[in-house]
Structure 1
Amino acid sequence: MSVTINDVARLSGVSKRTVSRVINCSPAVGEATRERVLEIIKETGFSPDKQARGLASSRSYLLGLIYDNPDALYIDQVQRGALSVCAELGYELVVHPGSSKHEDFIDDCLRFISRSKLDGVIILPPVSENKALAAALREAQCPYVRLASVDLDDADNIVVSDERAAMRDMASHLVELGHTDIGFISGPQHFRSSTERLAGFLAELQVYNVQLPDSRIVEGKNNYESGLMCAQTLLDTPNRPTAIVANNDEMAAAALRVASNLNIKVPDELSVAGFDDNILASRIIPSLTTIRRPVYNMACLAVQKLINKSRATKEKLPLQKTVTPTLVKRESTGQCSE
């Protein structure tokens, strides 16, 4: 026999209306009561009838995820974070990969939202940097939250990862290890995340009076293949740098491969670092020094913000706008030997 809302109310020692308020994220419920009801819902496996809830409240209890990003590990972390909150609060997640290069990209996104009758959407970088898309969503009165590396919107509409500050920490780490000749594999420079990371790195090097010549900066495409070509450019020369920093872990892994092919020992002869701290960073050999971007937590926060927007009351739960990535030191960076 399936569990009903009446069963949850009885086991929780509250009214059916209170259970309904918890399911619908009403702030009129005390935190202790909310936690007790959610625990009973979890224990009993109660699943609200989303269709009936939608008809009763003119909401679908569906949230969308829009992205154009080749990094499958990043997308996986986002989905895991978003789904963890959706499952707890009775929502479902609908995923929509797209191509921002297509002329009808924005219209395609709007059709997806209309067709799925979404209560709101989460937009991932680099699509989240698209001002025209954000404007179209506002005009369509579709709630949205953008994940980004720079403050592009109102606090309710964005979760910002302070990547400029994080890369300053990376620069300090390498200089303190004695590295002054550093190569940098950047991401596409039309992405704000790429420019923010490079700007932060350069700014901190200036504090130490360390120069990064243009010849030491090579632009990649945030994928493994481009990382191979960029690392080859930096390393297959007698005058190679003593350290390489890549815009993401995938290109950093490619740099490790090129170093291995050229019989360059890491970290004895070359230090390598990345950005993201995806699942492979701690598993490759040597394990990768990188910046841990709290993608899972950012996705959780984005869903909470979207659900916050749908609350019937004007009283909203205060939610943070900015998260701070952190430096993770592992085996791939070491003292400069020169």
Structure 2
Amino acid sequence: MTENTRKPKDAKDRAQVTIIDIARMANVSKKTVSRVINKSPLVREETREIVNKIIAETGFTPNPQARALAFRRSFLIGLVYDNPSPQYVVNMQRGILDALDETSFQLVLRPCDRADANYRERVESFVIQHKPYGLILTPSVSEDDELAAMLRDRNCDYVRIASVEIDDASRMVRTHDAQGAELAARHLAELGHTRIAHIHGPNTFRSTHERMAGFRKGLADFGLSLDPKLTLEGAYTFDSGVECATRLLSRPDRPTAVFAGNDEMAVGVYVAARKAGLQIPDDVSIVGFDDTPISSRIWPPMTTVRSPIRDVGRVAALRLIQAEEDEKTQAPGAFALELIVRESTQAL
């Protein structure tokens, strides 16, 4: 192969170089060139170096429109969510972008409202119009089997993030919510608390039931049970945390500890406690869930269950973008949770 064969003479020639030309010059298949462009790990390093060298010499630039046409879908990864916690969504985005860095894929957000009777049709319209490469579904959207069935019918790849396995393992990233809540219960029980309240998320979220079940199990290990009078439904929002905690802490038999279903609601408990003239943790211990940045920035720093949301987003995206290789990523499909003990809890 001569130097002139590899180096087009001017910008016009460079613009005419195609992926087929690169494959011919490198003596590999077009699919291999595509894998190199998309930074797939399923290419030998020697081959990758050869292809990248030819791409650099020829000035070849992949045409996103041509690639999308070849795949009959765009290179958009859609994040579909109905989650009232802004920090959760931000952390999920960061994880997805970690995986998409230095690839040709782009992230697009598609918020939705499961309370809207037409929300599935709206997601379907998004799929038809934009032909995304795939979708990442977060709770509670991920728990909708009818939505998943629609995506399969539309031949739209997806990954579901959920607290239990509700689909084929290759389409799942699982968070062990029950395990995390059990750790919270055991921590409070070990500190000697017996009047323990729980502000849980919406009953429409499967994570709510998983966390409540895990919390009950942790208490049961110490011979304790969750008092229905000290169990209130929140909305995974700050305001609902304030409202529920205000009711709980105004009771004559107020709890000595509160476990909130996420950090947003737990911060609401902080506010309600201070409005009631209570000291944290002297008068009431508080435990959150997620370990979002606010948990370590408020005073006193909050004890919470760490959920690796950013890592979950990264792995979910990797599973999608490596699906082209007919082999899902070997990254773990499930994540263990851990309790981060800070200064919002203490022994009685």
TM-score of the superposition, structure 2-length normalised?
Answer: 0.85
For 2:105 and 2:49, the matched residues in 1 are separated by 17
Output the CA distance in 1 between the equivalents of 2:90 and 2:320. 20
1:77 is matched with 91
Secondary structure of the equivalent of 1:204?
helix
Change (3 A) 1:238 1:317: closer
Give 1:15 deviation, angstroms.
4.9
Query: Which blocks of at least 5 consecutive residues in structure 2 are unaligned?
Result: 1-9, 18-24
200-209 or 235-244, which moves further after superposition? 235-244
Equivalent of residue 51 in structure 1, options 65, 72, 79 = 65
Matching residue's letter, 1:208: F
Shift of 1:250: 0.9
The one of 330, 334, 340 aligned to 1:328: 340
Cα RMSD for the two superposed structures:
2.7
1:295 aligns with one of 287, 290, 309: 309
Q: 1:251 aligns with which of 254, 257, 265?
A: 265
1:271 aligns with 2:285: yes
Unaligned runs of 5+ in 1: 7-13
Any conservation in 2 of the 1:122–1:146 contact (CA below 8 Å)? yes
TM-superposed deviation, 1:23: 2.2
Q: CA 1:92/1:270 → structure 2, altered by over 3 Å: closer, same or farther? A: same
The 5-angstrom pairing of residues 12-161 of structure 1 reads 15=26, 20-26=34-40, 28-30=42-44, 48-161=62-175
Q: Report the equivalent of 2:183.
A: 169
In 2, the alpha carbon distance for the partners of 1:293 and 1:31 equals 35
**Residue identity opposite 2:203 in structure 1:** Q
The aligned amino acid for 1:333 is: T
Indicate conservation of the 8 Å contact 2:286/2:303, yes or no.
Answer: yes
Distance in 2, Cα, partners of 1:52 & 1:221: 45
| Partner SS, residue 160 of structure 2 | strand
Equivalent position SS for 2:186: helix
Distance 2:45 2:204 in 1: 44
The DSSP-based 3-state class of the residue aligned with 1:88 is coil
**How far 1:316 sits from its partner (Å)?**
4.3
Deviation at 1:226, TM superposition (A): 1.2
Shift in Å, 1:145: 0.5
Is residue 66–residue 98 contact of structure 1 (8 Å, CA) maintained in 2?
A: yes
State the TM-score, normalized to the length of structure 1.
0.87
Give runs of aligned pairs for residues 194-213 of structure 1, distance below 5 A: 194-213=208-227
Query: How many matched pairs?
Result: 320
Counterparts of 2:186 and 2:49, CA distance in 1: 43
Contact residue 47 and residue 90 of structure 1 kept, 8 A: no
C-alpha displacement of 1:218: 1.0
Matched, 1:233 2:251: no
**How many angstroms does 1:16 deviate by?**
9.3
Distance 2:49 2:172 in 1: 27
Q: SS at 2:135's partner residue?
A: strand
Identity %: 41
Once the 2 structures are TM-superposed, how far is the Cα of residue 300 of structure 1 from its aligned partner? 0.7
Structure 1 counterpart SS, 2:322: helix
> In the TM superposition, what is the alpha-carbon distance from 1:315 to its structure 2 partner?
4.4
Partners of 1:155 and 1:144 lie apart in 2 by: 12
Distance 1:319 1:259, change over 3 A: same
Change (3 A) 1:251 1:150: same
Query: What does residue 9 of structure 1 align with?
Result: none
- Give the Å deviation of 1:193: 0.4
**Cα distance in structure 2, aligned partners of 1:37 and 1:246:** 53
- Following the alignment from structure 2 to structure 1, what is the Cα–Cα distance between the partners of residues 273 and 42? 59
- Quote the Cα distance in structure 1 between the aligned partners of 2:327 and 2:281: 53
1:183 aligned onto 2:197: yes
Distance verdict in 2 for CA 1:31–1:100, change over 3 Å: farther
Classify 1:315/1:129 alpha carbon distance in 2 versus 1 (closer, same or farther; 3 Å): closer
**Is this contact kept in 2: 1:27–1:315, CA < 8 A?**
no
Query: How many Å separate the matches in 1 of 2:221 and 2:50?
Result: 52
1:34 shift after superposition: 6.2
The one-letter amino acid of 1:256's match is Y
Aligned partners of 1:25 and 1:307 also within 8 Å: no
Q: Alpha-carbon deviations, 1:274-325, whole Å to 9, x = none?
A: 11111111101111111111111111111111112222xx444434221112
1:326 shift after superposition: 1.4
Aligned residue for 2:4? none
